[in-house]
A and B are shown apart, each in its own frame.
Chain A
Amino acid sequence: KPQDIDEDDEREKRKAAARKGSKASRKKVSKEQSDDESEEDKGRGKKSGRAVSKKEKEDQNNDKKGNKKGKDEENKDKENKNKTTSSSFSSPPSPADSDEESLSEGEIAALKEQVEEKKKLIATLRNKPWRMKKRLLLLKEAQDFVEKFEGALGKGKGRRLYAFKVMMTKKLIKFNRDFENFKTACIPWERKIKEVESHFGSSVASYFLFLRWMYGLNLVLFGFMFGLVVLPEVLMGLPYGSIPRKTVPRDEQATAMDFSVLFDFGGYCKYSVLFYGFYNNDRSIGVLQFKLPLSYLLTSVGIFGYSLLVVIRTMARNANEGGDGGDEGEFIFSWKMFTSWDYLIGNPETADNKYASITTSFKESIVDEQENQKDENIHLRRFLRVFANFLILCSLGGSGYLIYFVVKRSQDFAKMDPKTLTWFENNEVEFVMSLLGLVCPPLFETIAELEDYHPRIALKWQLARIFALFLGNLYTFLFALFDEVNGKLEAEKSIKNATEWALHQYYANYSSFYNTTNVPPPNVAPADVIRGPCWETAVGREFVKLTVSDVQVTFLTILVGDFLRAFIVRFLNYCWCWDLEAGFPSYGEFDISGNVLGLVFNQGMIWMGAFYAPGLVGLNVLRLLTSMYYQSWAVMACNVPHERVFKASRSNNFYMGMLLLVLFLSLLPVVYSMMTLSPSFDCGPFSGQEKMYDVVIDTIQAMPAFIGNIFTYVSNPGLIMPAILLMILAIYYLNTVSKAYQQANTDLKKKMQMARDDEKNRRNNQDSTNQVMKDLEDLLPNKSLAPTPVAEEKPLDIVIDKTRTTRTKPGTAGKGVEVQKEESLSAPNPRRPVTRGPGPRGGPPGNMRSPQPEPGRGRGQGRR
């Protein structure tokens, strides 16, 4: 049956060939004519009139090209047709001249058709895979033909408009392209990351991409914070030293400028715009009546909202990109092979990078491929995996207990006099936590080697484990912090009472002494005023200190662990007993999981701390900026690629997922403190209020009544409950729909796969059933093939006798025949003409000058 089909195909093709042949002969005739004409043209020279008419005609062709351009276009088409017919009617001799036939109606129709065909040919000529010479000839021929039978067209008004439109669309396209180029040029560090990627593979590059993304996010956050909170306070608020909260207290003034104090973010730093306490509680400031407290609260909440939005949107986009993953699994290697080289590259350095990156990506795919084929003792591996997980759980539990123990101890220490404690006892918690952070990840990595996962999966496990570790640390830290805050709140209450009592006392004394009700405020220097501990600033300071120490640790680790190590390995290698580079210390690998998690948790710190220390966001931007340069330098200078280079998982949603989780976790304490803890009475924008969100309520009350009414209605439980229900329903519905789509998608993919397999099977079966025929035919090609390899090998710079080896592959004896058959079939195929017959290739250049009647068709015949 399939053979029948094939035969049918063959017949069809032959027919087509015959048709084409007849057409070609017709064309040949006309070509001769056109040649004649072109000679005439040359004889006449460039007469201006002729050139103009030609131009007009081409304009008209252009019009045709941009088909579907509204009504006027159609009208013109009609006009054209009319003209064609009229011209052919009015001047019967002209067609008779060329075709030497008289006119009948059918012929006119045929002629019209031909004209249309030619026009179409002119329009699509540039898309045809023909040689330029042939194209030019055909163009001329077609144009002459059209001109002859169509006559020139007068100028219309619509055309100018149309030309204008075409020009505008062209301009628009160009502008868009330029804009796109500009946009990509604006993305920073593209080349740096590309360089890293080409040397270390996409997995390491994914960290830097993530870092860059973070930098962008933080830049926006910084913009919000700086523009809406910090800048207004600096520009319009009271200056330093005007009120107590903006002044260093008297007993701290002596050391306020010491480096150690400043470095600890005490002294002047503590009473600066960096921290919560500096901000004044004036309802509105400056000439613009800027409501700073409100802006402070809304910006802090807005930062969370914006981050949430961005993270989720990025996740969704990533999911979309990874969505059609089934399709890409189909042609991993062939796409890599045929589309990975960027033909635009013209810079030797870039080219080298590209070579390296292509090689790396091939290696990645090879590792993936081999991983798929691996098949080993599954029981042993399962046991090892369970065992490894057990070990890791043990170490996680151990570290958790250690932190708990240390925090307990530190609470005991806190009750003692700080003067009697040693430095170690003071900083025990931080010390133990960073020690755990340093020791545990390598430990996990060592244990993970038992599991023998694919590096990509191993990375995920590693990330998840370290994530759990860090999370434990973070929350222990937070609980310790909140304990401290509660203590401070107690202390504050007593101080508040004391100050109020003192103030009251002062007023009572003053009024009784001077016997007046008009009491001036007590004349005390702002530095001497008794003040509360201002727990918000204390918390902010903790976060800033933590961030800074984190930066120090990271940078030092890189400097010592990577740079110094690489330095020693590189230069001590000359005088050492064993090979340092290949042996024990060797060069470090880039620690992706640790760095990613460091970044994620750092971001969590920023989110949490931004409320208490608005300057933290700015610090973080600086940190990310330096980190980008420093780390990309370090990785290029002192790291070696991973032993098994592996591809980053397609969707970076794993990172994003962690970020989202951290965002949520860092949202909790901030919202808790906003909603339940009462703000300090004498510092920060919310001082004097019972709760921080009172600012919002105040603002609403200050607004016109109807807005207040609206808010009351909206906050009515009767309205909120249905809204929540509605949202849940919507989520449920969308979820179901997306699942259905996913199902449909997989079904379609399955179908496609099946169709492909079917096709393959069909062809294969055909091969086997036709074995006898093939064997018979197998004798044929040798005759015809004999001259070809010789001819073919000539143009190649590298001589390889491979054409033959493929043909006579063992086990596929029949294949050669098919090649031959298909080639002969392919010859008349109009798509093939570009391929040259081997005949004229070696010929003298003089040979080339003579016109070749049908260049494309030479191939099959040359073979014969």
Chain B
Amino acid sequence: MGNKQTIFTDEQLDAYQDCTFFTRKEILRLHSRYHELAPHLVPMDYTNEPDCKLPLALIVDMPELKENPFRNRIVESFSEDGMGNLSFNEFVDMFSVLSEMAPRELKAIYAFKIYDYNVDNYLCKEDLEKTLNKLTKEELTPEEVELVCEKAIEEADLDGDNKLSYTDFENMISRAPDFLSTFHIRI
């Protein structure tokens, strides 16, 4: 509208607004953030949907993600190729899911994906161990890690298969008091 340089057509902006939890302004800001990450790679003009992806290393360096122990997993989960290369669409998608407005169910799905390190649609003990080690910077002894993981599985596993399926995870996370307040990134 007021921009001298058109980044998106109005249609695109509207479509983005329909598909995400962002307002027009926020989407433009997201684009500028995306652009800042690699000014030479990302074009300013997105009207004809250029095909451009940024590698994981660049995105993980954003201040919003920099301190997050799960940053690699977050980016990987949202990338289409699983390697962490994000197109702008996926970039917007990521922050939309992590935004404040996103509903619990949607967040739960992506949280599940994030914590699923080996991408097998189950949170098995190894996933939990990795999660725990990331959370505590590996300051717990192996026995403690073992105990915590066993306990966590025991608590949340409904079907007794010693790993958490999405149903288990959702059941557990839907009752967590802090999940919504902590699983969100303001950009």
Interface on A for B, CB 8 Å cutoff?
41-42, 46, 51, 54-55, 58, 61, 122, 125-129, 131-133, 135-136, 139-140, 177, 327-328, 330-335, 337-348, 350-351, 355, 358-359, 362-363, 365-366, 369, 756, 759-760, 763-764, 767, 792-793, 795-798, 800, 802-803, 805-806, 809, 812, 815, 818-819, 822-823, 826, 831-832, 834-836, 838, 840-841, 843, 845, 848-849, 855
B148 in contact (CB, < 8 A)? yes
Cross-chain contact of B176 among A127, A331, A797 (Cβ < 8 A): A331
Tell me which residues across on chain B come within 8 A of A341, comparing CB atoms. Answer: 68-70, 135, 182
* Contacting pair B176 A54 (CB below 8 A): no
Residues in B whose Cβ lies below 8 Å from that of A127: 102-103, 105-106
Judge whether A767 and B160 touch: CB under 8 Å.
yes
Contact A359 B14 (CB under 8 A): no
Output the residue of B68, B169, B179 with the most chain A CB within 10 A: B68
For the complex, would chain A's binding face be called helix, strand, loop or mixed by DSSP majority? helix
Q: Tell me if B162 and A815 are in contact (CB < 8 A).
A: yes
Q: Per-position contact with A for B114-132: 1 when CB-CB < 8 Å, else 0?
A: 0101111110111010111
| A346-B67 in contact given A792-B120, A815-B162, A845-B53 (Cβ < 8 Å) | yes
B121-165: CB near A (< 8 Å → 1, else 0) gives 110111010111001110110001001100111011011111111
Q: Given A131-B90, A335-B178, is A800 in contact with B160 using a C-beta cutoff of 8 Å?
A: no
**6 smallest A-B Cβ distances: which pairs?**
A132-B89, A351-B67, A333-B152, A802-B126, A763-B159, A132-B93
B61 contact set on A, CB distance < 8 A: none
- Taking CB atoms, residues of chain A closer than 8 Å to B96 are 126
A800-B126, A835-B121 given; A125·B137 CB < 8 A = no
Please report the C-alpha to C-alpha distance between residue A674 and residue B16 in the assembled complex, in whole angstroms: 72
Give the distance to chain B from A427, nearest Cβ to Cβ, in Å: 50
B113 at the interface (CB under 8 A from A): yes
A135 surroundings in chain B (CB, below 8 A): 19, 93
Shortest Cβ gap from B75 to chain A (Å)? 11
CB distance A129 to B106 under 8 Å? yes
CB distance from A46 to the nearest CB of B (A): 6
If A46-B11, A331-B156, A812-B161 are given as contacts, then 6 extra A-B residue pairs at C-beta distance below 8 Å, sorted by A number, are: A55-B10, A132-B19, A139-B15, A343-B68, A363-B140, A806-B163
Within 8 A of A (CB), among B50-104: 51, 53, 63-64, 66-70, 72, 76, 80-85, 87, 89-90, 92-93, 96, 98, 100, 102-103
- Cα distance, A350 to B66, chains bound together (Å): 12
Say yes or no: A337-B109 contact (C-beta < 8 A), given A802-B118, A823-B121.
no
- The reply to whether B111 and A756 form a contact with Cβ atoms under 8 Å apart is no
Contact partner, A836, options B19, B82, B135, Cβ 8 Å: B82
Give the complex CA separation of A739 and B120 in angstroms: 48
Docked-complex contact A58 and B18, CB < 8 angstroms: yes
Identity of the chain B residue whose Cβ is nearest the Cβ of A346 in the assembled complex:
B63
Partner of B18, one of A42, A126, A826: A126
**Residues of B contacting A330 in the complex (Cβ-Cβ under 8 angstroms):** 155, 175
Interface: B185 (CB within 8 A): yes
Is the CB–CB distance between A340 and B137 below 8 Å? Answer: no
Question: Which residues of chain B have C-beta atoms less than 8 A from A809's C-beta?
Answer: 162
B51 near A849 with CB under 8 A, answer: yes
User: Within the complex, what minimum Cβ distance (angstroms) separates A431 from chain B?
Assistant: 47
Once A795-B83, A819-B122 are accepted as A-B contacts, the answer to whether A339 and B89 lie under 8 Å apart by CB is no
Residue pairs across A and B with Cβ atoms less than 8 A apart, 16 shown, are A55-B10, A126-B96, A127-B105, A337-B128, A339-B176, A339-B182, A346-B64, A346-B66, A351-B67, A355-B137, A362-B135, A759-B158, A795-B81, A795-B83, A819-B120, A838-B119
Question: Of A131, A337, A832, A848, which is within 8 A of B148 by CB?
Answer: A337
A348 vs B181: C-alpha distance when bound (angstroms): 20
**Residue positions of B touching A, CB distance < 8 A:** 9-11, 14-16, 18-21, 48, 51, 53, 63-64, 66-70, 72, 76, 80-85, 87, 89-90, 92-93, 96, 98, 100, 102-103, 105-106, 109-111, 113, 115, 117-122, 124-126, 128, 130-132, 135-137, 139-140, 144, 147-148, 151-153, 155-156, 158-166, 169, 172-173, 175-179, 181-186
Q: How far is the CB of A43 from chain B (nearest CB, A)?
A: 12
Q: B182 contacts A836, CB within 8 Å?
A: no
How far, in whole Å, are A746 and B11 apart by their CA atoms in the complex?
Answer: 55
Q: Cβ of B121 and Cβ of A126 under 8 Å apart?
A: no
- Report yes or no: A131 in contact with B175, Cβ–Cβ below 8 A: no
Known contacts: A54-B11, A133-B89, A339-B182. The answer to whether A126 contacts B160 by CB under 8 A is no
Nearest CB in chain B: distance from A573 CB, A: 24
Cβ contact within 8 Å between B159 and A333 = no
Cα(A755)–Cα(B177), bound, Å: 22
B172 adjacent to A366 (CB under 8 Å):
no
CA distance A153 to B185 in the complex (A): 38
- Given A359-B136, A834-B113, A841-B83, the answer on whether A344 and B186 have CB atoms closer than 8 Å is yes
Residue of A126, A133, A330 contacting most chain B CB atoms (<10 Å):
A126
Are A342 and B182 closer than 8 Å at their CB atoms? yes
Are B81 and A848 in contact (CB-based, < 8 A)? Answer: yes
Closest CB of chain A to B145's CB: distance in Å?
Answer: 9
Contacts of B135 in A (CB 8 A): 337, 340-341, 355, 358-359, 362
A834 CA to B70 CA in the complex, in Å? 19
B126:A806 contact, CB within 8 angstroms: yes
What residues on A are CB-neighbors of B83 within 8 Å?
A: 795, 841
A439 to chain B, nearest CB (A): 38
Nearest chain A CB to B29 CB, angstrom units: 16
Complex: how many Å from CA A796 to CA B120?
12
User: Nearest Cβ in chain B — how far from A2, in angstroms?
Assistant: 12
Min distance, Cβ B110 to any Cβ of chain A, angstroms: 7
Chain A nearest CB, measured from B139 CB (Å): 5
Chain A residues, CB < 8 A from B179: 335, 338-339
Alpha-carbon gap, A333 to B125, bound state (A): 13
A812's closest neighbor in chain B, by CB? B162
Contact yes or no, B172 A338, CB < 8 A: yes
- Pick the residue among A343, A800, A805 that contacts B184 (CB under 8 A): A343
Closest-CB distance, B40 to chain A (whole angstroms): 18
In the bound assembly, the distance between CA atoms of A333 and B129 in angstroms comes to 12
Q: How far, in angstroms, from A815 to B83 measured CA to CA in the complex?
A: 29
Q: A359-B137, A362-B140, A815-B161 given as contacts; is B151 within 8 A of A369 (CB)?
A: yes
